[in-house]
Amino acid sequence: MATVNVAVNERAFNDVVMAVAKYLESVPSFSGSGSFGPFSASYSVGLKLTGGSIDLTNTGRVHFDELHLTYDPLILNLGIDLPTIPIGGECILPTPWGCSVRLPEIDLFDANPDISIPINLSNTIVSEFSGEFTVSDSKQVLVAKGSLRPHAAHFSPDTSNEIRDRFRSTVGTIPFLPTSAVNGIADAFVPFVKSNLADKWQFFLHDVWHNLELISISDTAANILRNLTDFIIDKILAPVPSIVRGVVKAILNPIFDAIAAVLDIPDDILEWLSSQLQISFGLFDLLAQLIINFVGSMVPFYQFEDPFPMIEDSSGLLPVLVPVENVSVVVNDDEFVMSADIG
């Protein structure tokens, strides 16, 4: 039995991993919600990967350096449960013993004023992901073998949900992710595997440490949030004659001052949004965990069939297949080296 060493330099390794990381963009957008007093919010978010690099280190780790994640889509739905605001109630006949007659009260709002305002922040917020990972290998053996091919001694049809269930089980470990999102994300990866059900050697990246930070919010997003109360009031006042808007705003302003106090929107919108998304929604933890799980166990960054087709079948000739055993990997500063026993 012979031993084969295959070395991939850092640049080629970077290209391989980044190509797989791009797969993140095909993951369906997911959503969540939270509430704080009279204010509620829900979000729907998807990701795009841009920039950054992947370096090999002499500690045997793979270093992800400042990968930029752009949130697209990122839709925030802000909900406000306004109190009913009556017009009237003034005393028009005061007496020494109290008020004898008051004006009737008429509601400023027709019905229960639950306001929902969609705010589109797609492509306006960017996060930066960095981390270090170790590399491991494992052999995937599925019950289903796919259709009979020349080098397969037998086959078992893929009639089970084994692959789908494996992915759902892995994605389901992400906390606070609703079941619908778990299934949607997991099922997106199933076709990736089902295209080839043969036994394989697979290589995965496992998290040592990671950091996901909000690094920039465009002026558009900052202005929207800074003028949030005016933005909401103008939505409410859409049907009000413009000549009367100032009057109604004066009536509503005390309510929105209270809401702004609840939101505690400071001058630093970056800090506020980061705090809300992180603390109130746990969004960054969610995304970081999704990335970690993705690169860690869901989709390998590289794989090959076992037995390995050294010479493909062609012109009616049988393929030359070589069994592979005892696969191991080593990472150093210059290259990624895979060793295996063949034959």
Partner 1 sequence: MNTVINQHLFRHRESNSSAFNNLCTLVHKLPEEGTYAGEVVQGKRLLGTFRLRCDAKNELSQVNIDLSTFDALFRANVAGLTASDTYAVGKDGYVVFYASAHHDGLYVKLTKVSKENGGSTFDSRRLDNGDIVTFRLWHAGSYRISNEHGGHEAALSVLNAEDGKFPELAKRGPVRVRLSDKGFDPAKMEIWPTQPLVISVEVPAALRLQSNDSVLAKHSGPVTRGGQQLHK
Among 88, 150, 266, 343, binds partner 1 (CB under 8 A): 88
Cβ 253 to partner 1 shortest distance, Å: 8
Among residues 59, 23, 212, the alpha carbon closest in space to that of 133 is found at 59
Residues present in the chain in total: 343
Of 87 and 208, the one with the shorter C-beta distance to partner 1 is: 87
Under 8 Å between Cβ of 45 and 30:
yes
d(CA 98, CA 112): 32
Among 92, 96, 195, 315, binds partner 1 (CB under 8 A): 92
Q: Which stretch binds partner 1 (CB under 8 A): 60-68, 111-119, 261-269, 283-291?
A: 111-119
Of 109 and 192, the one with the shorter C-beta distance to partner 1 is: 109
Would you call 14 exposed, middle or buried from its count of C-beta atoms within 10 A (0-12, 13-18, 19+)?
Answer: middle
d(CA 254, CA 77): 23
Q: Which stretch binds partner 1 (CB under 8 A): 60-68, 241-249, 292-300, 312-320?
A: 241-249
d(CA 145, CA 39): 53
Cβ 231 to partner 1 shortest distance, Å: 12
Of 90 and 264, the one with the shorter C-beta distance to partner 1 is: 90
Binding flag, residue 116, partner 1 (CB under 8 A): yes
Binding flag, residue 243, partner 1 (CB under 8 A): yes
DSSP 303-334: EEESSEEEE--BTTBPPEEE-EEEEEEEE-SS
Report the amino acid identity of residue 38: P
Binding flag, residue 227, partner 1 (CB under 8 A): no
186 token code pair? 């997991």
Under 8 Å between Cβ of 309 and 320:
yes
Cβ 289 to partner 1 shortest distance, Å: 33
Strand 30-36 and strand 39-50: the pairing is: antiparallel
Among 2, 250, 261, 315, binds partner 1 (CB under 8 A): 250
Of 120 and 216, the one with the shorter C-beta distance to partner 1 is: 120
Binding flag, residue 119, partner 1 (CB under 8 A): no
d(CA 66, CA 130): 5
Among 15, 25, 66, 114, binds partner 1 (CB under 8 A): 114
Q: Which residues bind partner 1 (CB under 8 A)?
A: 87-88, 90-93, 100-104, 106-117, 235-241, 243-244, 246-251, 254
